[in-house]
Amino acid sequence: MYVRSRRRPMGSAMSPFLARSLFVALYTLYPLGCILQLGPDTGDDLPILSVIGLLMVAASFLAFAVLAGSSFQRQAQEPDAKLDERELAQRNRAAYRAFAVLAGIVALGLLYMDLRMDFADRFPLWAPTEQAHWNALFWGAIILGLTLPAAFLAWETEPPLED
Amino acid sequence: MSRKDLADAVGVNPQTIGYLERGDYAPSVELALKIAGVFSAPVEMVFSLKPFASLAQIIRNKGEH
């Protein structure tokens, strides 16, 4: 997902370091926030962990919103005709790597669910059961799928030379 | 000529010119020919498989001969 602004049709210029920091924040705050927010209900009047988790998820969405308008996201999501040959070559590499990572995560998830079924009587492993759990997994998968190619681009791109 | 001017002349992102200067990206034949055309020079004067000698090195070599 790339959000184009009228003022910056090529995406907001962002240093690779800032983009990498935002991607790291996105990929750590979202899952940790979900775990804290959806953890066991302690019955407290003020579920402080749940509030902290919600704030972490909100911060991750903020990072996502900033990245959605970045030049990295533009390169990852623009139609081919709007990119030059170097951008296309980088995008193709990034998309291939992102696909490999996503396929690996899906395979590991299936392996986990398989092991959980096999060892259900000995080790009670966690599994998503409530709608909120599936909701968190769904949006996590969407965010990862939408941003992972741009994240690989952020790690591949060198800072631009001064003109 | 700035990177942006050259990029506009050959229809690429200015960052791509930076990649070419650093030697981080090998252009297609088409792009190499376009860039050489902008400078009205043969393509082998602009691109080479071996690194070009620096201007200081060239002057030093001339001084030695």
Instruction: Express as a percent the part of chain B with pLDDT over 90.
Output: 45
Chain A residues with CB-CB distance to B25 below 8 A: 86, 89
- Interface probe with A: pick from B12, B15, B33, most Cβ of A within 10 Å: B15
Per-residue tens of pLDDT for chain A, all 163 residues: 777 777 776 777 788 899 999 999 999 999 999 999 887 666 666 788 888 999 999 999 999 999 998 889 989 998 999 899 999 999 999 999 999 999 999 999 999 999 998 888 888 888 888 899 999 999 999 999 999 999 999 998 776 665 5
Give how many domains chain A has, as a whole number.
1
What local confidence, expressed as pLDDT, does residue B59 receive?
87
Task: Spell out which residues of chain A touch residue B12, defining contact as CB-CB under 8 Å.
Answer: 84-86
- Residues in chain B closer than 8 A to A89 (CB atoms): 25
Residue A2 within any structural domain of the chain: no
> Is there a domain that residue A1 lies in?
no
The answer, for A161 touching chain B at a CB cutoff of 8 Å, is: yes
ipTM metric = 0.79
> In angstroms, rounded to a whole number, what is the distance separating the alpha carbons of residues A27 and A23?
6
A10 touches chain B (CB under 8 A): yes
Q: Domain B3-64 is in which class?
A: mainly alpha
**What does the domain layout of chain B look like in residue ranges?**
3-64
The answer as to whether A5 is a domain residue is: no
Residue A101: give the domain boundaries.
16-156
Per-residue model confidence as pLDDT tens digits over B35-62: 999 999 999 888 888 888 888 888 888 8
Neighbouring CB atoms inside 10 A of B65's CB total: 4
Amino acid at A104: G
**In 10 A of CB A118, how many CB atoms?**
11
Contact (CB<8Å) A10/B13: yes
The per-residue pLDDT for A15 is 87
> In this structure, how many other beta carbons lie within 10 angstroms of the beta carbon of residue A131?
9
